[in-house]
Amino acid sequence: MFDSLSERLSGIFDSLRGKGRLSDADIDATARQIRMALLEADVALPVVKAFIHRVKERCRGVEVSKALNPAQQVVKIVNEELVAILGGETRRLEFAKQPPTVIMLAGLQGAGKTTLAGKLAKWLRDQNHQPLLVAADLQRPNAVQQLQVLGERAGVEVYAPEPGSGVGDPVQVARESLAHATRHARDIVIIDTAGRLGIDEEMMAQARAIRDATEPDETLFVIDAMIGQDAVATAEAFRDGVGITGVVLSKLDGDARGGAALSVREVTGQPIMFASVGEKLEDFDVFHPERMASRILGMGDVLTLIEQA
Amino acid sequence: SRSQNVLGRGLLTLLSRDHLDEDAWEEVEELLISADVGLEPTGRIVERLRERTRVLGTRTPEQLRVLLSEELTEALSVDAERSLNVRRDGDRPSVVLVVGVNGAGKTTTCGKIARVLIADGNRVLLGAADTFRAAAADQLETWAQRVGSEVVRGPEGADPASVAFDSVKRGIEAGVDAVLVDTAGRLQNKAGLMDELGKVKRVIEKHGPVDETLLVLDATTGQNGLEQARVFTEVCDVTGVVLTKLDGTAKGGIVIAVQRRLNVPVKLIGLGEGPDDLAPFDVTQFVDALLGD
Ligand SMILES: Nc1nc2c(ncn2[C@@H]2O[C@H](COP(=O)(O)OP(=O)(O)OP(=O)(O)O)[C@@H](O)[C@H]2O)c(=O)[nH]1
Ligand SMILES: Nc1nc2c(ncn2[C@@H]2O[C@H](COP(=O)(O)OP(=O)(O)OP(=O)(O)O)[C@@H](O)[C@H]2O)c(=O)[nH]1
Ligand SMILES: [Mg+2]
Ligand SMILES: [Mg+2]
């Protein structure tokens, strides 16, 4: 569907092979192509601009090497910059000194929070933790049952004192889940919350109330890899409205380029920690910045070439 | 909303200038890209706009704004009918199949459409052909209770095509006016799941043609939305798009490319999680929202 960045750039540089420095005109033409490739990958416009600026700066100083043609060299720079942004400060889950560790999930409607709750629970259980899932989405029809089914599949207890589908107070459920966890020796509490829009003040206030009642060690922002330019507004709203300590990219098993990864990383400053890659509980992985970088620009092959050069 | 302000502000700066320089055109372009219109359609719209401002000698901001809005309206127009094809055909209910990627809003949209049809005096049956996702059938059943429709569901893990078949069969027997079949979310690059969807449709068609196949598209979706529309149309001949979650900050500009490339009209929009948060697609309103007013 899209031209890869290397295809785009090779045209510009064919004439230049092995000729010393990139000229300003070459750099401008290159920057235009990079901009287009990033926009087609759904990287948000303000993020694209900042990124291009950095890449241009780096390209200016570069000597055209013998081993790589200029296109490859620029791709290499772009890739390094991408990986630096996507991977800067990777880290593991933060565990509380005094259990239970509290992990709260937040995000837009349909992003993949409840599914992720199940996946995290299973993943942690497999590492000999004793997680507790908490059904604090009492809004979406049958979100509670959905979590119960997933909890059963993961072999993890689900704390669900309220029926949901409009009945019950999510803040109270979240608060009381901590005492329940302590009583039953659960060392990790995973709180599933309702999907909400960034501009929904009331729902954002509710998310804050859940946060304040539970003081999470991690507040993970779950975002759909298919999201477009709205990634920035949404990430800002969750950053400011609830506070985010980490990001999870979902539905990466699709064929979206996933430029949102870059946008969210830039906007929140928080690390992308996990990738959700399917509907089953085991379709879950820690996040790989290098893979994501090459996916955004569709340049897996070039990178292999560059590595061999 | 936040992004509305950004767009609105962008346009204002542009329009307060007394001449149109390259920066001004770049702003128009960025306004469209920020709404997920995509590079190719944006390029085309801006090019036409430039041509027309030249020919017409456009000077005032108001004139330019009108032209841009005309171009967008033109880009969003389709020949196809935008109203839902849900008229009962003799002794057979009309059949609507609802498809799309995971989490787009299919189940909710089924509930909302049922609500509208029931308010119009129709009897509606909901078929829970998502037998895969945890509690998907429960969710549809809750919607059925909410809006007052019957529901047909199978056991978890049942063959979705057979649940779909049974739903339409039951609808015919019960003499309802419309059967809405909800399907499991699936990403368009999963060949196996897309084949399954093709089968769901073929099996339903043993009872007669499907009147509407609605693709539910999340307004926050970026450029992947076009690929979604392309593959779903290929597999099950989509007849209309429902653009959901337009109550958020996303503009849903991808539908410009979707309509143009596939000639499938946007028929409905989703504006919230409640039963009444559904509206017909209105080009003028959509264009106004896209331009940020
Ligand atoms: N293919 C794929 N589907 C996913 C992934 N994660 C979640 N889903 C599906 O996406 C849909 C929505 O997931 P949920 O977990 O219900 O999303 P949510 O954020 O809890 O949604 P709300 O509670 O309604 O806001 C479901 O059909 C999930 O099976 C993923 O990584 N890949
Ligand atoms: N704000 C808003 N939320 C919506 C809208 N339509 C659906 N939702 C929400 O989006 C989430 C997903 O909706 P569903 O109807 O379950 O989506 P689906 O496509 O059936 O999901 P799967 O069956 O899991 O693929 C739910 O939380 C809905 O309440 C809308 O128009 N606006
Ligand atoms: Mg959920
Ligand atoms: Mg559904």
CB contact at 8 A, A150 and A115: yes
Task: Compute and round to an integer the Cα radius of gyration of chain A.
Answer: 22
* ipTM metric: 0.95
Distance A93 CA to ligand 1 centre (A): 22
The ligand 1 atom nearest the CA atom of B184: 27
Task: Point out the ligand 2 atom lying closest to the alpha carbon of residue B102.
Answer: 25
Q: Does the model's pTM come out above 0.80?
A: yes
Please give, rounded to a whole number of angstroms, the shortest distance from the CA of B36 to a CA of chain A: 6
pLDDT confidence of residue B214: 98
Report residue A90: phi and psi, to 5°: -65, 150
Which is more confident, A308 or B72? B72
The three-state DSSP-derived secondary structure of A163-211 is CECCECCHHHHHHHHHHHHHHCCCCEEEEEECCCCCCCHHHHHHHHHHH
Instruction: Kindly list the residues from chain B whose CB atom is less than 8 angstroms away from the CB atom of residue A224.
Output: 103, 218, 220
CA of residue A173 to ligand 4 center, whole Å: 25
Burial class (CB in 10 A: 0-12, 13-18, 19+), A96: middle
Span A51-99, pLDDT tens digits: 999 999 888 877 766 667 777 778 888 888 999 999 876 788 989 999 9
User: In the predicted model, is pLDDT for residue A304 greater than 70?
Assistant: no
Chain B CB contacts of A203 under 8 Å are: none
Number of cross-chain residue pairs from A and B with Cβ atoms under 8 Å apart: 149
Ligand 2: residues with CB < 6 A are A 109-110, 140, 195, 197; B 100, 102-108, 130, 133, 136, 184-185, 216, 244-245, 247-248, 270-273, 277
Strands B240-244 and B94-99: unpaired
Q: A31 touching B, CB under 8 A?
A: no
- Which residue matches tokens 């477009």? A228
What the block records as the tokens of A127 is 């590492």
Site to probe by mutation for ligand 1, drawn from A133, A279, A281, A283 as the one with most ligand atoms within 8 Å of Cβ, is A279
Is the CB of A197 less than 8 angstroms away from the CB of B248?
A: yes
pLDDT tens string B21-72: 777 788 889 999 999 999 999 999 999 999 998 898 876 667 788 899 999 9
What residues of chain A lie within 8 A of the CB of B248, using their CB?
108, 197-199, 230, 234
Transcribe chain A into DSSP letters. Answer: ----HHHHHHHHHGGGTT-SBPPHHHHHHHHHHHHHHHHHTT--HHHHHHHHHHHHHHHHTPBPPSSS-HHHHHHHHHHHHHHHHHHTT--PPPPPSSSPEEEEEE-STTSSHHHHHHHHHHHHHHTT--EEEEEE--SSTTHHHHHHHHHHHHT-EEE--S-BTTBS-HHHHHHHHHHHHHHTT-SEEEEEE----TT-HHHHHHHHHHHHHH--SEEEEEEETTB-TTHHHHHHHHHHHT--SEEEEE-TTSS---THHHHHHHHH-PPEEEEE-SSSTT-EEE--HHHHHHHHHT-HHHHHHHHH-
Q: Are B53 and B22 in contact (CB under 8 A)?
A: no
Contacts of B41 in chain A (CB under 8 A): none
